[in-house]
Structure 1
Amino acid sequence: MYRLFYKPEDAVSGDYIPFFWEGTFHLFYLKDWRNAEKYGEGIPWFKVKTQDFYHFEDAGEMIPRGGREDQDLCVFTGSVIAAQGKFHIFYTGNTPYLEEKGGVQQAVMHAVSDDLEHWTKAPEDTLIPAKQYDHHHFRDPFVYYDEAKKNYVMLTVSRKNGEELYAGFTARYVSEDLKTWRDDGVFWAPNLYHTHECPDYFKMGDWWYLVFSEYSDQYATRYVMAPTPNGPWHMPGDDVFDGRAFYAAKTASDGAGRYLFGWLPTREGNKDEGNWQWGGNLVVHQLVQQRDGTLGCKLPESLNFIWQTAAEYPGAAELQNVEGRQALRLFAPQCGAYRVDLTLRFKEGTRQFGVYLGQDEKSKAGYKYEFLPEEGLLEFRKMAWISNEKGLNRAVCIEAEKELRLTLLVDGDACVLYVNDTYALCARMYEPKGKDIALFVAGGQVRLLSARLLELKA
């Protein structure tokens, strides 16, 4: 059972759709049992509720899947909005069985509720894509109210028909009544991706943001930013929130902060070298807006109050080896869920340094988060004699001789490292050889300023 990264006990979850209402985050999600023989075909929406991203209340099924004759055999991603005295869900109805009968694979569908708990489908409001668009890629509606134009706007995943590789774009539809929608053209078309999924749109400070997940040669949640509601959209140099193991993230705000809700995928066979799968565990990052408007991620503030100190490394320490590697064993956590806080500095010219985790004291096999300062990269990978696992990576910008603050969370086989309240990198580690946490350097010098191991409060 996971303590930090929520997952239903009998299935995997994905594509969290967050909605904040009266002090509570309502997290709708797609539930997949990965067992059609036992649980039936298709995917429904379920919901879990939380106020602190640590305590979760299972609210059960929200939108049931249809049958093979229905458009919504699979209830795919969408959004939630409070409007006209009710709550509305707009979701993707997906089925592979209607195309041969003249139907479409994907359409936008509508459901209504008075209380966020009981939902009534409105199939008469179904929106199908125009003929010039690819009906296999018409999904993930995000609906909001445009105060300036006094109408509702729906952003959807779309693709032009044809064989063009990078034909994905974000389409815009408008409505006055949330029932009848008209095509309002292209919202954003960068000609960069096969498809970009799960659009999310919001204003933070003086900037507007469009968040999306690249469904192309890479899998990553990215964003663009604009000084006005409709662009022009600027692509920041570092436009990702995390790495390959954090996907389909959408945001919600409680009025004080804005949070990014994504999922950490499992691997086939629960093996380090297994293929990444659809679905896994919830991971929540808190968004941080920099002075230039760019966005970063940090550990949600509410998750700072659930810990107690288990051990501290006594004093400072210096690691230096210009010809090879040097390591310092720090802790050996005995619990399944823990946190490690590190503060350190590295010397100019240092080739690589980082943190070992799940390491065996004798063989030194395990995993590592490794910084490559000259390449501007943070990597996660398994340490083994021979491994086909390519690992995970993301861009980081860190400066020599300046304080570097790291927060590592581990919950069973799931982990995430936060760097300077700006960068995050999620990972899986299914086959740890030991329990050791260590600091290492290779080709340079690192000074450890403080290290603390924390465990969950009873």
Structure 2
Amino acid sequence: MGIFYLPKDGVCGDFIPYYNSKRKCYELYYLHDYRGCNGEGEGTPWRRITTTDMVNFTEEGEILPRGNREDQDLFCYTGCVVEYDDKYHIYYTGHNYHFTEEGRHKESVMHATSVDGITWEKQPQDTFFAAEDREDIEQDDWRDPFVFYQEEEQKWWMLLCTRKKEGPSRRRGATGLLTSDDLVHWSYEGSYWDPHMCWCPECPDLFQWGEYWYFIYSTFCETQGLRTYYRISKSSRGPWKNPGNNCFDGRAFYAGKTASDGKSRYIFGWNPTKTGDKDDGVWQWGGNLIVHKLRQDADGSLSVSMPEKIAEAYREEQRMYLQPIYGMYEELENGFVLKAQSGLGNILISDISKECMVEFEILLSKDTDSAGIMVKVTGEGAGGYYIRLEPGRNRFLFDREPAYPHEKAEIERFVEIDTLKWHSVKVILDGTCVLAYLDDKYALSARMYDFDSDKMMFFVNDGEVSIRNLRMRRLKCKEIQNTPIKERR
């Protein structure tokens, strides 16, 4: 049983996290994609899991059933959960692509309520669409409602994914703002954020942390790349500044949304699978749950790190056997130095657990081309997956060897690499999922399908690298439990 949650009969789509202060747990609603399991057919319901530690999950089953071919909510897509006046509210996207052929609205905002948070009743009379008399927005992109009470303005706000009618096709995406006094009647106020940068800024999230406001969104277009981003401001209405390090992870983390218990804040997204379970497969919608803990830095920017309870779940220390292959190798008191002034230097580590956490500190010399760790290594490095640091390019990336037919790095992101300081690295290997953290600031999720071995390798290309405080730990599986609701009852 792995650390990254995945249902047995499909995959996880977008997560809608909500901290329930009465139950004192995180309720993670998610869009369930059956992927053809058990002949379930098309359509997406909402399911819910709960957790207190991001490690153990209780499956609470279906919360919002999907509609049928004739219903607006054949696909119950992304939304939000709020509590007000002793009642719970779900606002969600009702999507039915069949309606386009019939000249009907493909998407709408829909509403469901509950008095106990367990049994939910849809409120079809509250359904509303993009206003047909508006000349500025398209009718078929009207989704992902995010609702919260805006204390400063004493109104309920709803942020919504929309598209403008004018402009280049792939730059019309905008976030709309609607307001309400009663959570039933909503007025469209216009565009909240109109960046002219993407097809649609999906899955909006907005929260205040100290003196700063944070606006989170996800995109799937070429101009920004497919990932989850954030912007920062000292006002809930912007202007929204790009903080520089403006994403939480790479291409293999999408639709991130946050929740807080008042002490800590986490962001929940998914690591997508690939068609055919192959490295050269096409990225798919949906996959495993990924959770990052957020940290607010002194300048207001956000960093991500591994949740503490996930790190603590890896308790079984594993012995390692190091075998230098190429380059010059020198032992240190609590580590080693690897040098290769012209070419490759590497050290092979054998007989490791295929599912484990590896952590170490790394110091790269100024002129080093690249260095890092290679996992799932075949032979003495003929194949496998790189988690690589490139100080000259300030790149943190995931790639594979051999790279052919790939012409560029599989997943990469900009980071700050200081060759005068030690950097901390943590890597989780969990089935086909891999997740790496750098300096408890940057994260990089990826997938591994084609290679599967019990070897890993430290390497350096054209330079010198020092490694210290190397640890490898296995998951304490008996402490990890995903409990179905039928057993819980």
Cα offsets for 1:267-310 (capped at 9, x unmatched): 00000100000110000000121111111110012212212222
For normalisation by structure 1, the TM-score amounts to 0.96
> What is the distance in 1 between the residues matched to 2:355 and 2:433?
9
For normalisation by structure 2, the TM-score amounts to 0.90
Contact 2:363–2:419 (Cα < 8 Å) also in 1 = yes
> What is the distance in 1 between the residues matched to 2:47 and 2:162?
25
> What is the distance in 1 between the residues matched to 2:292 and 2:176?
27
Please report how far the alpha carbon of residue 114 of structure 1 lies from its aligned counterpart in structure 2 after TM superposition: 1.5
Label 1:100 to 1:343 Cα distance change in 2 as closer, same or farther (>3 A): closer
Label 1:324 to 1:211 Cα distance change in 2 as closer, same or farther (>3 A): same
Please report how far the alpha carbon of residue 97 of structure 1 lies from its aligned counterpart in structure 2 after TM superposition: 2.5
> What is the distance in 1 between the residues matched to 2:188 and 2:444?
38
Partner residue of 1:12? 11
SS in 2 for 1:54: coil
Question: Which structure 2 residues correspond to residues 100-115 of structure 1 after superposition, within 5 A?
Answer: 100-115=101-116
Please report how far the alpha carbon of residue 34 of structure 1 lies from its aligned counterpart in structure 2 after TM superposition: 1.7
1:387 paired residue among 395, 405, 416: 405
Give the letter for the 2:313 counterpart.
I
> What is the distance in 2 between the residues matched to 1:36 and 1:69?
22
SS in 2 for 1:311: coil
Gaps of 5+ in 2: 322-332, 479-489
Partner residue of 1:121? 122
Contact 1:296–1:423 (Cα < 8 Å) also in 2 = yes
> What is the distance in 2 between the residues matched to 1:43 and 1:100?
20
2:145 paired residue among 136, 141, 144: 141
> What is the distance in 1 between the residues matched to 2:26 and 2:412?
30
Task: Report the aligned-residue RMSD.
Answer: 1.6
Partner residue of 1:55? 56
Cα offsets for 1:386-408 (capped at 9, x unmatched): 33374111111110020110000
Q: Does 1:358 align with 2:376?
A: yes
Give the letter for the 1:310 counterpart.
Q
Cα offsets for 1:11-47 (capped at 9, x unmatched): 0111000000132111011111122881022111111
Partner residue of 2:394? 376
Label 1:367 to 1:99 Cα distance change in 2 as closer, same or farther (>3 A): closer
Please report how far the alpha carbon of residue 329 of structure 1 lies from its aligned counterpart in structure 2 after TM superposition: 2.2
Contact 2:217–2:229 (Cα < 8 Å) also in 1 = yes
Partner residue of 2:484? none
Matched residue count: 456
Label 1:385 to 1:74 Cα distance change in 2 as closer, same or farther (>3 A): closer
Q: Does 1:454 align with 2:473?
A: yes
Label 1:389 to 1:33 Cα distance change in 2 as closer, same or farther (>3 A): farther
Contact 1:220–1:247 (Cα < 8 Å) also in 2 = yes
Partner residue of 1:223? 230
> What is the distance in 2 between the residues matched to 1:329 and 1:452?
15
Greater CA drift, 423-432 or 299-308: 299-308
> What is the distance in 1 between the residues matched to 2:68 and 2:93?
15
Q: Does 1:251 align with 2:258?
A: yes
2:218 paired residue among 197, 213, 217: 213
Q: Does 1:341 align with 2:342?
A: no
> What is the distance in 2 between the residues matched to 1:363 and 1:101?
56
Partner residue of 1:325? 344
Greater CA drift, 168-177 or 430-439: 430-439
> What is the distance in 2 between the residues matched to 1:163 and 1:209?
27
Contact 2:366–2:391 (Cα < 8 Å) also in 1 = no
Please report how far the alpha carbon of residue 150 of structure 1 lies from its aligned counterpart in structure 2 after TM superposition: 1.5
Partner residue of 1:93? 94
Greater CA drift, 28-37 or 337-346: 28-37
Partner residue of 2:330? none
Q: Does 1:153 align with 2:157?
A: yes
Greater CA drift, 129-138 or 216-225: 129-138
Q: Does 1:413 align with 2:446?
A: no
Give the letter for the 1:58 counterpart.
E
SS in 2 for 1:98: helix
> What is the distance in 2 between the residues matched to 1:67 and 1:433?
41
Partner residue of 2:282? 275
> What is the distance in 1 between the residues matched to 2:291 and 2:403?
34
Label 1:323 to 1:417 Cα distance change in 2 as closer, same or farther (>3 A): same
> What is the distance in 1 between the residues matched to 2:184 and 2:350?
58
Give the letter for the 1:54 counterpart.
V
Please report how far the alpha carbon of residue 223 of structure 1 lies from its aligned counterpart in structure 2 after TM superposition: 0.6
Greater CA drift, 381-390 or 174-183: 381-390
1:202 paired residue among 204, 207, 215: 207
Give the letter for the 1:262 counterpart.
G
Greater CA drift, 6-15 or 314-323: 314-323
Label 1:105 to 1:363 Cα distance change in 2 as closer, same or farther (>3 A): same
> What is the distance in 1 between the residues matched to 2:86 and 2:75?
28
SS in 1 for 2:309: helix
Give the letter for the 1:364 counterpart.
A
Cα offsets for 1:298-350 (capped at 9, x unmatched): 0012212212222367832101111011012245323x421001112111121
2:319 paired residue among 289, 306, 311: 311
Greater CA drift, 168-177 or 436-445: 436-445
Contact 1:296–1:421 (Cα < 8 Å) also in 2 = yes
